Amino acid sequence: MTANLIDGKEIAKTTRSRIKEDVEQLIEQGTIPSLTVILIGDDPASHSYVKGKERACEQAGITSVVKRHPESFTEAELVEEIRTLNEDSSVHGILVQLPLPKHIDETVVLDEISPHKDVDGFHPENVGQLLSGGEGFVPCTPLGIIEMLKLTGIEIEGKHAVIVGRSNLVGKPVGQLLLNENATVTYCHSKTKDLYKHTLDADILIAAVGRPQMIGVEGIKPGACVIDVGVNRVDGKLIGDVQFDETKEIAGWITPVPGGVGPMTITMLLHNTVLAAKRLGRCNDRS
Ligand SMILES: Nc1nc2c(c(=O)[nH]1)N[C@@H](CN(C=O)c1ccc(C(=O)N[C@@H](CCC(=O)O)C(=O)O)cc1)CN2
């Protein structure tokens, strides 16, 4: 058997056209959704992702502003900038590109972003909303994974989903989203004993560890849906967390790297920015 490929690029393209229509409607009603991205330092991957965000916003009709700062930018300066953006009613979404330089405390910074403009869904208030099933913002990569599963027609309810990785960016929130969709969820991490005992029972396997080809075919249940979130650069090539060539022979569904989950991350950022513009618009209408 050869797995069906989940084409993230194609799903992202369709979803972005739908978002563009939403933006056109908002503009007709007098609101141009707007995103401000803060980028510190000169990490080439971060610069490339932020360029991708700018390009995607432009194509969707969303205004984007990128505030680029040198590595020496201080935590206090960053907090000050975020506070100014929180007060600026023309800004709907604020995003601080991660990772931050070591001298800046990520938690301090992310907690400063207004939860109503937190299009990354990292603010504690939005994390709480996700846990309680409320209406906050959901982190982009996890949201993109759920969207991909749904649009591909993969049933989540009643399935055993196994997450390998427990980062705040992907592992923890994607597990919570799957739970909210009535999956039975198991989290695995660096201290998990006998990893494959768990992954072999996964109907849906989410690999989000950040270690190239760490999960081999001997850890995959035949027919499983395998979502590879890994974007590991090895000798200039992008490699996932799963051994793709061998796994695709026995899985039911699989995402490639590149061209799988990655394109959905920026797509969901557009979605969250439009959502922020709509919600803030509603608040302004009431005031
Ligand atoms: N504030 C945030 N920082 C970071 C996030 C995030 O969601 N919010 N996620 C990642 C980086 N990221 C977006 O910021 C991101 C990662 C990967 C892709 C993507 O499209 N990947 C492509 C390959 C692109 C390439 O060739 O390099 C793919 O997998 O096909 C987009 C965005 C960390 N920081």
The CATH number of the domain covering residues in 140-263:
3.40.50.720
Cut 0.80: pTM above it: yes
User: Cα–Cα distance between 274 and 271 in angstroms, integer?
Assistant: 5
238-254 tens-digit pLDDT? 999 999 999 999 999 99
166 known member of a binding site: yes
> Which two tokens mark 216?
């081999």
Indicate the top mutation candidate among 13, 49, 268 to test ligand 1's pocket, ranked by most ligand atoms within 8 A of CB. Answer: 49
Centre of ligand 1 to C-alpha 167, Å, is 15
The CATH number of the domain covering residues in 29-114:
3.40.50.10860
271: left (phi over 0), alpha (psi -120 to 50) or beta: alpha
Question: Which residue of the set 22, 97, 176, 228 is catalytic?
Answer: 97
* Residue 65, beta-bridge partner list: 36
The radius of gyration computed from the CA coordinates of the chain, to the nearest angstrom, equals: 19
Secondary structure in 3-state letters for 162-174: EEECCCCCCHHHH
Q: Is the pLDDT of residue 287 over 70?
A: no
User: Cα–Cα distance between 259 and 280 in angstroms, integer?
Assistant: 33
| Measured distance between the N- and C-terminal CA atoms of the chain, rounded to whole angstroms | 59
**What ipTM describes this predicted complex?**
0.98
User: Cα–Cα distance between 248 and 213 in angstroms, integer?
Assistant: 13
CATH 3.40.50.720, the chain: domain bounds: 140-263
Strands 204-207 and 225-228: parallel
155-205 tens-digit pLDDT? 999 999 999 999 999 999 999 999 999 999 999 999 999 999 999 999 999
CATH 3.40.50.10860, the chain: domain bounds: 29-114
For the CA of 140, the closest atom of ligand 1 is 7
88: left (phi over 0), alpha (psi -120 to 50) or beta: beta
Indicate the top mutation candidate among 265, 266, 268, 272 to test ligand 1's pocket, ranked by most ligand atoms within 8 A of CB. Answer: 265
Q: Which of 263, 265, 276 is nearest to 63 (CA)?
A: 276
72: how many CB neighbours lie within 10 A of its CB?
10
